[in-house]
Amino acid sequence: MPSNHSKILVESIKRLIRRDAIFNLKKIVKKTHAADLSIAFRMLSIDHQHKLFGMIDDIEKKGILFSELDKDIFLNLIEGLEIDDIVEIVEHMPSDDVADLIDKMPKETSNTILGKMKKEGSEEVADLLSYPNDTAGGIMVPDFIALKENTTAKKAIESLQEEFHDVEMPFYLYAIDEYGKLVGVCSLRQLVVVPQETPLKNFMTTEVLSVQTDVDQEEVAKIVARYDILAVPVVNETNKLVGIVTVDDVIDIFREEATEDILKMAGVGEEFIETQSVLRNTKIRFPWLFASCIGGIFAFFIIGRFEAHLIKHAYLAAFIPVIMGMGGNIGTQSSTIVVRGLATGRFIIRDTWTVVTKELTTGTILGLIYGSIIGCVAQWQYDTITFAISVGFAVLSSMSIAALLGSLVPMAFAKIHIDPAVATGPFVTTAIDIISVFCYFKIATTFLNI
Amino acid sequence: MPSNHSKILVESIKRLIRRDAIFNLKKIVKKTHAADLSIAFRMLSIDHQHKLFGMIDDIEKKGILFSELDKDIFLNLIEGLEIDDIVEIVEHMPSDDVADLIDKMPKETSNTILGKMKKEGSEEVADLLSYPNDTAGGIMVPDFIALKENTTAKKAIESLQEEFHDVEMPFYLYAIDEYGKLVGVCSLRQLVVVPQETPLKNFMTTEVLSVQTDVDQEEVAKIVARYDILAVPVVNETNKLVGIVTVDDVIDIFREEATEDILKMAGVGEEFIETQSVLRNTKIRFPWLFASCIGGIFAFFIIGRFEAHLIKHAYLAAFIPVIMGMGGNIGTQSSTIVVRGLATGRFIIRDTWTVVTKELTTGTILGLIYGSIIGCVAQWQYDTITFAISVGFAVLSSMSIAALLGSLVPMAFAKIHIDPAVATGPFVTTAIDIISVFCYFKIATTFLNI
């Protein structure tokens, strides 16, 4: 559904609720995908949300809606629902989605729900919850098809109809040995095209890509993307198959990680805040601005130290913006390249030396070019060659230092396992502002020999 | 393969080449996935690339490698290959990948290759090339399984073994009517679990999501992501099925689009440049810095207009960095939220009013807070209440204007179909710098009544 359709959907829903047109509402709810309903829910009052929710007949659809809702909306919604109804819905959901929901709920609610769930289901969920959220273990589904390697194609197909009829995404069948260890994989397609009496081990691929439960979710996603596969099996430390991560989750991981990185670089938290209240929005954005404020006050004191010179040479002030701007912008360029390069695996920490040298060279070349341009402007306006040279030199040093810091800092943060995206925003920008201003005044006062 | 393994791979390859250990090299090439080889190629000399390439026995693997290589490397590599060898390789590739390669080549080479290909293949490729690159038509594969709706499950499975044995990703079977129009879809899994004599129309889903050939690739990707499907059928204007877009391409689209947006916002082009030469790197980054340079020079002239005041009140200069910094940072926050919000479909152009109002409110609240803080610093340092108030007021106006521009500009650009990510970088940052400086001096000189 193209995104402007959601407004039309919301408007129809509101109109029908006003008219109390139950029959038509039910028809809309029935034919709208849960993913689209979840977007409509963002724009509906809590009362209307409940009204609409009550009209969903299909319990599995209620479950999909639960998974698709934004956290705040989900928590508000379930507050008005009976615990037994919630339990019934989650019992019809895949256990990885249940684990995600449980994770969002207040401890008390989640304990009640887990307590009321059937034992098998709640154990699966508890298992998943025992892995950190952002690892293969935390995102895998325990629903997969595992068969002994000597099972025939025919038997395997029969098991799809019986034992595994509720496995969600059965693209691959995994072959395991007598200890449950992963030994091979074959596709559903291979299964139907081989002679029906062939055992799996005769046509399965034995070079199976797999990940251990503790592998970071981004790494898992990269594997799925690189090898164009639909699911990657997850094994424990003894190579026993415990779950799979499917491609639909991989898409979500990539989108989330990209959004997170972009927001962090701009200092606006990790999660999308536009749907949150103005107050919350303000609170999340406060800290980064605080860092920048402290940096600005620092720059103020630096300039204050040069006030005596400023009184004599007021025109010094006029070049502050361009020197800060050039340094800040090239610093942002360098750090963006490094942060995104690290995120997409374009380069790794061991490349630090190469990357930083290259950035510094680029920064120096660009600094020479822009230093000359801005120096010429200074010469043209003030006709003092020493001042013109000092302005040009300040631009050069600001830009080359900015390119150096902009590339080195995220690399260094990555090395000590601090997310480079977080660091890049406040840290680099503020540091570059201060250094640029300091260099400028130091160089200018030295050159002017005052 | 975790990314630090690629260095180890490259090192082993280099060592083996030095030792001329053909046998071991062949073994490594054989067991390494083409996606990993493509990364190793980035770090090998052209001679070594050719040596390695010659050792690939499997022609399909050569094709995958072609698709995975960076553009520059690919073009260099094929320069040293015989045209007939290239033709043989591309004939074994899926036609959407061939179309991508053809697109990268110089006109002359691509014409020769298309001319030498078998008619059927080159026609498929030419068809794909007739659609714009970034639309459903440009990214679809023409390999899909389409059967008449009254085909039985058994016949459908047989057709998988015969007619459709080389379809790459056969998750879904599409049902078409006698005019080739799309009427239903069923999964491979349904096919094996239903009684074998059932016709498709008895169990297929008739509510099929599809996209037209001219739909933007990002929109297509969003549909696949939203509904957790593995492929979406592409139809022409008469609803005739012409191709499918598969989930593996969707992952690539999301990753590319996120990288593009991030790089554009920082003004470093669209494609990843770290692997390019310093000179090219410099050239790509030049324009955005130029915009910022022009902005800085503009700010210089504004400050120049106030030089007479600056001579009397040199301390005015000391607050330039903090006022510019606060405006610039909140502007970046606002524009980042809007650009990413538009990209992920969090909000749409029709939300402009809501989003901008919210950003302006947030900017004003934060402006009041930081205006007070910075005003207090001014009061503490200079003990002149009118100056303190004017500094505070300048921070407030700079921050609220920045939040307004930061949210309004990308929305406006999106409305007139200019990519908001491109606009946000140079345009917003430069504008905010100039406006901040101007407001500050205007307010300060007015308040100080000079």
- Res B123: pLDDT: 84
Q: Is the pLDDT of residue B227 over 50?
A: yes
Q: Is the pLDDT of residue B310 over 70?
A: yes
Looking at the structure, tell me whether residues B23 and B48 fall in a common domain: yes
Name which of B85-99, B105-119, B265-279 the model is least confident about: B265-279
Is residue B138 a part of any domain in this protein?
no
CATH number reported for the structural domain that contains residue A52 in this entry? 1.25.60.10
Q: Compute the Cα dihedral for A18, A21, A22, A26 and give only its sign.
A: negative
Is residue B259 a part of any domain in this protein?
no
Looking at the structure, tell me whether residues A244 and A313 fall in a common domain: no
Q: Do A314 and B307 touch (CB under 8 A)?
A: yes
Looking at the structure, tell me whether residues A440 and A295 fall in a common domain: yes
Pick among A9, A216, A220, A337 to test the B interface (most B CBs inside 10 A): A337
Compute chain A's Rg from CA coordinates: 30
- Res A345: pLDDT: 75
Looking at the structure, tell me whether residues A227 and A289 fall in a common domain: no
Looking at the structure, tell me whether residues B73 and B164 fall in a common domain: no
Q: Do A265 and B317 touch (CB under 8 A)?
A: no
Residue B416 sits at φ, ψ, to 5 deg, of: -95, 20
Is residue A263 a part of any domain in this protein?
no
Task: Tell me the pLDDT band of B364, cut-offs 50, 70 and 90.
Answer: very high
* Cα of B107 vs its chain's centroid, Å: 25
Coil vs helix vs strand at B199:
strand
- Res B430: pLDDT: 86
- Res A341: pLDDT: 85
- Res A287: pLDDT: 84
Mean pLDDT of B189-212: 87
Q: Compute the Cα dihedral for B262, B267, B269, B271 and give only its sign.
A: negative
C-alpha distance from A263 to closest chain B C-alpha (Å): 7
Integer Cα distance of A35 and B229 in angstroms? 12
- Res B275: pLDDT: 57
Mean pLDDT of A142-151: 88
Is residue B325 a part of any domain in this protein?
yes
CATH number reported for the structural domain that contains residue A229 in this entry? 3.10.580.10
Task: Tell me the pLDDT band of A276, cut-offs 50, 70 and 90.
Answer: low
Instruction: Tell me the pLDDT of chain A averaged across its residues.
Output: 86
Looking at the structure, tell me whether residues A409 and A326 fall in a common domain: yes
- Res A122: pLDDT: 84
Q: How many CB atoms lie within 10 A of CB A229?
A: 19
C-alpha distance from B150 to closest chain A C-alpha (Å): 20
Mean pLDDT of A241-268: 86
* Cα of B427 vs its chain's centroid, Å: 20
Nearest to B329 by CA among A305, A259, A273, A432: A432
Looking at the structure, tell me whether residues B312 and B227 fall in a common domain: no
C-alpha distance from B419 to closest chain A C-alpha (Å): 17
Nearest to A33 among B227, B254, B282 (CB): B227
Chain B neighbors of A369, CB-CB under 8 A: 286
Last residue of a domain, one of A130, A163, A195: A130
- Res A286: pLDDT: 87
The residue range of the domain holding A218 is 146-256
Last residue of a domain, one of B73, B105, B133: B133
Name which of A143-157, A173-187, A315-329, B337-351 the model is least confident about: B337-351
Mean pLDDT of A176-197: 86
Chain B neighbors of A332, CB-CB under 8 A: 266-267
Share of chain A above pLDDT 90, in %: 23
Domains identified in chain B, total number: 3
Amino acid found at A82: E
Q: Is the pLDDT of residue A1 over 50?
A: no
Mean pLDDT of B231-247: 90
How deeply is A218 buried, as exposed, middle or buried, from its count of CB atoms within 10 A (0-12, 13-18, 19+)? middle
Q: Is the pLDDT of residue B223 over 80?
A: yes
Q: What is the pLDDT of residues A416-448, one digit of tens each?
A: 888 888 767 777 888 898 999 999 999 988 887
Looking at the structure, tell me whether residues B431 and B287 fall in a common domain: yes
Integer Cα distance of A213 and A229 in angstroms? 18
Q: Is the pLDDT of residue B178 over 60?
A: yes
Is residue B271 a part of any domain in this protein?
no
Is residue B272 a part of any domain in this protein?
no
Mean pLDDT of B227-236: 89
Mean pLDDT of A335-358: 84
Q: Do A314 and B319 touch (CB under 8 A)?
A: no
Is residue A265 a part of any domain in this protein?
no
Query: Which range has the top average pLDDT, A36-40, A400-404, B98-102?
Result: A400-404
Q: What is the pLDDT of residues A73-132, one digit of tens each?
A: 898 898 888 889 999 998 888 888 888 888 888 888 888 888 888 888 888 888 888 888
Task: Tell me the pLDDT band of B2, cut-offs 50, 70 and 90.
Answer: very low
Looking at the structure, tell me whether residues A199 and A71 fall in a common domain: no
Nearest to B336 among A268, A295, A369 (CB): A268
Is residue A271 a part of any domain in this protein?
no
- Res A323: pLDDT: 92
Name which of A34-43, B195-204, B368-377 the model is least confident about: A34-43
Nearest to B296 among A227, A307, A326 (CB): A326
Task: Tell me the pLDDT band of B370, cut-offs 50, 70 and 90.
Answer: very high
Q: Is the pLDDT of residue A274 over 60?
A: no
Q: Is the pLDDT of residue B1 over 50?
A: no
A359-392 in b/e form (b: 16+ CB < 10 A) is bbbbbbbbbebbbebbbebbbebeebeebbbbbb
Check: CB of residue B391 under 8 Å from CB of residue B370.
no
Q: Is the pLDDT of residue A170 over 80?
A: no
Q: Is the pLDDT of residue A48 over 60?
A: yes
Looking at the structure, tell me whether residues B234 and B330 fall in a common domain: no
Task: Tell me the pLDDT band of B164, cut-offs 50, 70 and 90.
Answer: confident
Q: What is the pLDDT of residues A65-81, one digit of tens each?
A: 998 888 888 988 988 88
Last residue of a domain, one of B108, B133, B158: B133
CB-based contacts of A10, cutoff 8 Å, min separation 6: A40, A43, A44
CATH number reported for the structural domain that contains residue B424 in this entry? 1.10.357.20
Q: Is the pLDDT of residue B271 over 90?
A: no
Looking at the structure, tell me whether residues A154 and A189 fall in a common domain: yes
Looking at the structure, tell me whether residues A430 and A309 fall in a common domain: yes
Integer Cα distance of B41 and B174 in angstroms? 39
